[in-house]
Structure 1
């Protein structure tokens, strides 16, 4: 088996690869979080046997999503790790350092120590999209509610009689059109 660890960050990522024997196959290198950087990563992975590769990265908000999508689309086995697992491995490291060049190695070691790995599938990617869309919808509804409350308070201060002219309340297209004049 060959383990590839990728340390995710906003502008750049660091990656390295080790064999199951602990031999360093790819020294830690930096690549950008864009298509050019992803192609650099693939060019470094190409000489290795794709079927024996396992790629791991920590779950880090949305910063690694594009890379995960890219790798899954290229049929790589990708595993997103809980940062708590890698943190535990980091604590066991003698130097207890957290640097961009050490972290990919820690992620590789964490992959090696797992009894079973769960790989990201296209279904998981679709589920991530749905969750993001659901969260966006909830936030948008909360924001709309806050704005309606704010508008009502302004109208109550400036033109309190307005609410008596409309049986359906202030929040309808005709009232909004009237207020925009």
Structure 2
């Protein structure tokens, strides 16, 4: 499974290749094409096929979601497990098509855990929470880098504001980027900038 497409191999209940390995794109049209292929497998064996996928982070998550919502049993395989099994097999050719077939065979030779989807709201909240944590960490790193850069030019400036990245501080630095320009600035100009950007009272 890749970002744009995936390779699919369909095996019979005896573990033998049923169709040629085929490529399906991970967009709406591509997945509808895959569903039509799977319908042929279902009609041939009178049973809805199980889907075995190798976990590839967020790329695989939406594919898992797609098949689970359409009533398929989906099994997500840790890449460490599938790689260890594939590396133990002696073969001359290594291609995505061969890998897809060997991944499908894991269904017959290893006990796999079926994916149980959580509520959509929970899944969305999980993604948003991870993103919020990541953005918070990035913000802290940027403020630390920004503070270090300002200290190179104005060593005492960070002592003036409790938050050097506040709107008021940034407004002053945007207009007066050196100690000299800040020192030469009219006092009332500085007061006006602080009054128009600070949420605190005039006192």
Normalising by the residue count of structure 2, what TM-score does the alignment of the two structures yield? 0.73
Aligned residue pairs: how many?
Answer: 172
The reply on whether 1:28 has 2:24 as its aligned counterpart is no
**Distance in 1 between residues matched to 2:134 and 2:10, nearest whole Å:** 40
Q: Is the 8 A contact 1:85 1:110 kept in 2?
A: no
Which residue does 1:120 correspond to in 2?
115
Which of 154, 166, 172 aligns to 2:166? It is 172
**Distance in 2 between residues matched to 1:155 and 1:87, nearest whole Å:** 49
Structure holding more helix per residue? 2
SS at match of 2:71: coil
Q: Name stretches of at least 5 consecutive residues in structure 1 with no aligned partner.
A: 1-7
What root-mean-square deviation, in Å, do the aligned CA atoms of Structure 1 and Structure 2 show?
2.4
Q: Name stretches of at least 5 consecutive residues in structure 2 with no aligned partner.
A: 176-203
Report the CA distance between 1:149 and its aligned residue: 1.4
Whose relative contact order is higher, 1 or 2, with alpha carbons under 8 Å and at least 6 apart? Answer: 1
**Distance in 1 between residues matched to 2:105 and 2:54, nearest whole Å:** 13
Change (3 A) 1:165 1:91: closer
Structure holding more strand per residue? 1
**Distance in 2 between residues matched to 1:124 and 1:96, nearest whole Å:** 44
Which residue does 1:144 correspond to in 2?
139
Report the CA distance between 1:132 and its aligned residue: 3.8
Normalising by the residue count of structure 1, what TM-score does the alignment of the two structures yield? 0.81
